[in-house]
Amino acid sequence: MDDLEKIRSEINSVDERILEALADRRKLAGQIIEAKDHLGAPIRDSLREEQLLANLIARGRSQGLDAHLITRVFHEIIDDSIRSQQLHLLDYGKPDLKRVAFQGIEGAYSELAGRKYFAPYLDKTVFTGVGTFEQVVDAVEDGDADYGLLPVENTSAGSINEVYDLLSCAQLSIVGEEVMRIEHCLLGMEDVALSSIRQIYSHPRALAECMKFVSKLPNCQAIPYAEAAMAVIKVRDEKDPVLAAIASEEAGRLYGLKVLRRNIEDQPNNYTRFLVLAKKPVSVDQRIPCKTSLIMATSHEEGSLLKALTLLHRYKINLSKLESRPIPGMPFQYLFYIDFEGNTAEDRIAQALEKLRSATTSLKVLGSYPAQHRAKTSPKIEVLAGGSPEPEPEPEATKPAAEKKEKVAYKLASRDRKPDDTIITVRGVRIGGPDFVVIAGPCAVESREQIRKCARYVKECGGQLLRGGCFKPRTSPYSFQGLGFDGLEMLAEAGREYDLPIVTEVLSPSDVEPVSRFADVLQIGARNMQNFSLLSEVGRSNRPVLLKRGMMSTMEEFLNAAEYILDSGNHQVILCERGIRTFETATRNTLDLGSIPILRRLTHLPIMVDPSHAAGKRDLVVPLALAAHAVGPHGLIVEIHPDPEKALSDGPQALYFHQFADLMRRIYQ
């Protein structure tokens, strides 16, 4: 016991040093912005950030620290530094004391968002909870608060209409935004088994966001309550261990409840966007990436909205949001809420707004404010010079007959239709552009531990996406068929933990919707390349699709399969060559590398290569992967396993971790 106490006290003093170091770093960030201000230097210096991160990773490694840990910790630290530099430029230093109104009581998500936004000034900020959204607006309008905080939209529940309606009448400006991940916890009096919980209280929106979790609990009733944090107080006051509340971990800590389960939201990517309002607009330094919000109405004539939007397009204004709300008392007439990238202080934006005024019946600019979406730095990985060459264009006359236009049925997939390469962005990873992307992971998710180990290794080696099959298309019905949705939860958890987007196969149209709640990319396997109802269904989803080439399919059949997805409205298709069936049996399939330059010419879609299913034997995977890299695809997908001998599917072709590390070194060095 004594030993335990001693170690704990050492840990406490290490934590103390971490805190002091963070405080010192923040002070220096304050000084640096003054120096930058003086020189007119930009806030972000991505080259310096990249080098900083790469050095820290290298130094951390020599001290036994994982690259992913360093990356995550320093992303937060760099983000905090940028946040305080931006606030400095916004002149939030004045007035000295900031009074912030939010809807709810202490511990509400709105308050947490406010604390995050005003983090560098917490010692000079007072938060006051009020009863309604309208009272937040009143508090700022009446001068009882300097800032008001209102939630406007949530990634699962959608827009909060009441707030949009308030914005149209309020005499306030938007001066900032905060996007916060909402992580719901189940909170109770004591650590009891979840099956003994009988009633769960929370705000109806929070209950709705955790519906799947709640409905799995036996004999348990969900009871709507005015507010999540108030539900926490109710459970505390009732002192009954069969009651629970859904709220933030902070609310639980504040009111003395225990966390019974974390992250119970149905959608893992559950974010709420909050607006910071003030009486006067702020002028934002042009070095800060900015957003502008406005409300407009157009005349009740055909094409008037289109005219207004075309105008914005002409000024190259990128819209990030367009929302419509009925105008009270004017049936079938609407107000349009628009957010776009840009700052009213820029000439281009000012001119566009001037023109927009004459194309609208009313226009209210709500303000320009720093955009919260800050790109994360990634340590630089150089692709081998000449590693992804653009294929040489061939003279028209030498094109084989099969490629002549009249024979080609596909249209949307064709490069003739869209000469530029399609780039698909999956949670910040760009597939189809100049970067070479590696997807890796096991053939099938087998256990929480197995997929975590793979995720960690993929991250460590610089892989960008995590693969793992949960629904496996097996030749024999007696082979392992995958863990289904349980496996998908494990895959999603590992992806979240290591910040890797996840790729998984869907086998049936009815699984597309539930799988796409978790998966970032849907894979269509080789055996399903011509399953047209499945293709149309993934075409109706909004997730990127990795379409594998059927093992007996021609280029034209492959591109027509992609066409099904594109034609159903989903333009995010990634093609994948994974080997075709030939007379040769020495390899599992014959990797058709010739298809890569051909596809690059025929289509604008991104193209990946899967050397694992082509090879069938692990020792062939690395050489085939390197050969593939040389012919110009946009990336690779490979199978790895922590213990390939024990793999439940495709073990013989799974790379050992060290082989994968070797491959990554050879590709990226």
Q: Report the 10 Å Cβ neighbour count for 77.
A: 17
Which residue matches tokens 């995050």?
116
What residues are paired with 129 via a beta bridge? 102
526 sits near ligand PEP (criterion: CB under 6 A): yes
The window from 114-122, 133-141, 220-228, 521-529 that contacts ligand PEP (CB under 6 A) reads 521-529
Distance of alpha carbon 62 from alpha carbon 55, whole angstroms: 11
**Shorter beta-carbon distance to ligand PEP: residue 235 or 524:** 524
588 sits near ligand PEP (criterion: CB under 6 A): no
Q: In degrees rounded to 5, what are phi and psi of residue 69?
A: -65, -50
Q: How far is the CB of 525 from ligand PEP (least distance, A)?
A: 3
Answer with the entry of ligand PEP, Mn ion, none that 525 interacts with (C-beta below 5 to 8 A by kind): ligand PEP
Cβ-closest residue to Mn ion?
A: 443
Q: Report the 10 Å Cβ neighbour count for 40.
A: 8
Q: How far is the CB of 517 from ligand PEP (least distance, A)?
A: 21
| Beta-carbon contacts of residue 271 (< 8 Å; ≥ 6 apart) | 154, 155, 179, 180, 181, 182
Find the catalytic residue in 272, 298, 360, 603.
272
CA 372-373-375 angle, to 5 degrees, is 130
578 sits near ligand PEP (criterion: CB under 6 A): yes
443 sits near ligand PEP (criterion: CB under 6 A): yes
Distance of alpha carbon 461 from alpha carbon 378, whole angstroms: 13
Q: Which of 232, 288, 412, 443 binds Mn ion (CB under 5 A)?
A: 443
Q: Which of 370, 525, 539, 597 binds ligand PEP (CB under 6 A)?
A: 525
Answer with the entry of ligand PEP, Mn ion, none that 493 interacts with (C-beta below 5 to 8 A by kind): none
Answer with the entry of ligand PEP, Mn ion, none that 111 interacts with (C-beta below 5 to 8 A by kind): none
Find the catalytic residue in 74, 127, 213, 274.
274
Q: Report the 10 Å Cβ neighbour count for 524.
A: 26
593 sits near Mn ion (criterion: CB under 5 A): no
Distance of alpha carbon 346 from alpha carbon 284, whole angstroms: 10
**Shorter beta-carbon distance to ligand PEP: residue 236 or 543:** 543
Q: Which x/- pattern over 454-493 shows residues binding ligand PEP (rule: CB under 6 A)?
A: ---------------x---x--------------------
Distance of alpha carbon 507 from alpha carbon 576, whole angstroms: 17
| Beta-carbon contacts of residue 299 (< 8 Å; ≥ 6 apart) | 361
Q: How far is the CB of 204 from ligand PEP (least distance, A)?
A: 41
**What's the distance, CA 620 to chain centroid?**
34
**Shorter beta-carbon distance to ligand PEP: residue 152 or 628:** 628
Q: How far is the CB of 89 from Mn ion (least distance, A)?
A: 51
Amino acid sitting at position 555: M
Q: Side-chain half-sphere of 645: how many Cα atoms within 13 Å?
A: 0
* # of chain residues touching ligand PEP (CB under 6 A): 10
Told to judge if 272 belongs to the known catalytic residues of this protein, a careful annotator would answer yes
The window from 19-27, 55-63, 525-533, 561-569 that contacts ligand PEP (CB under 6 A) reads 525-533
Told to judge if 292 belongs to the known catalytic residues of this protein, a careful annotator would answer no
Sign of CA dihedral 94, 99, 103, 104: positive
Footprint of Mn ion on residues 635-664 (CB under 5 A)?
Answer: 650
610 sits near Mn ion (criterion: CB under 5 A): no
Q: How far is the CB of 589 from ligand PEP (least distance, A)?
A: 8
**Shorter beta-carbon distance to ligand PEP: residue 424 or 526:** 526
Distance of alpha carbon 384 from alpha carbon 425, whole angstroms: 22
**Shorter beta-carbon distance to Mn ion: residue 386 or 477:** 477
209 sits near Mn ion (criterion: CB under 5 A): no
548 sits near ligand PEP (criterion: CB under 6 A): yes
**Shorter beta-carbon distance to Mn ion: residue 241 or 616:** 616
445 sits near Mn ion (criterion: CB under 5 A): no
SS3 344: coil
Q: Report the 10 Å Cβ neighbour count for 29.
A: 19
**What's the distance, CA 312 to chain centroid?**
27
Q: How far is the CB of 309 from ligand PEP (least distance, A)?
A: 41
Residue closest to 236 by CA, chosen among 254, 207, 256: 256
Check residue 210 and give left, alpha or beta (phi > 0: left; psi -120 to 50: alpha): alpha
**Shorter beta-carbon distance to ligand PEP: residue 60 or 616:** 616
Q: How far is the CB of 613 from Mn ion (least distance, A)?
A: 6
Q: Which of 613, 629, 634, 641 binds ligand PEP (CB under 6 A)?
A: 613
How many helices (H) and strands (E) in the chain?
A: 21, 25
Answer with the entry of ligand PEP, Mn ion, none that 473 interacts with (C-beta below 5 to 8 A by kind): ligand PEP
The DSSP code for 551 is T
Asked if 634 and 607 count as a contact pair (C-beta separation under 8 A), the reply is: yes
Q: How far is the CB of 579 from Mn ion (least distance, A)?
A: 12
Cβ-closest residue to ligand PEP?
A: 525
Distance of alpha carbon 409 from alpha carbon 566, whole angstroms: 13
Which element (helix H / strand E) includes 256? none
Tell me the residue ranges of DSSP E strands in 155-208: 158-159, 173-181, 185-188, 199-202
Residues that bind ligand PEP (CB under 6 A): 443, 469, 473, 525-527, 548, 578, 610, 613
Indicate which residues carry an active-site annotation. Answer: 272, 274
Residues that bind Mn ion (CB under 5 A): 443, 650
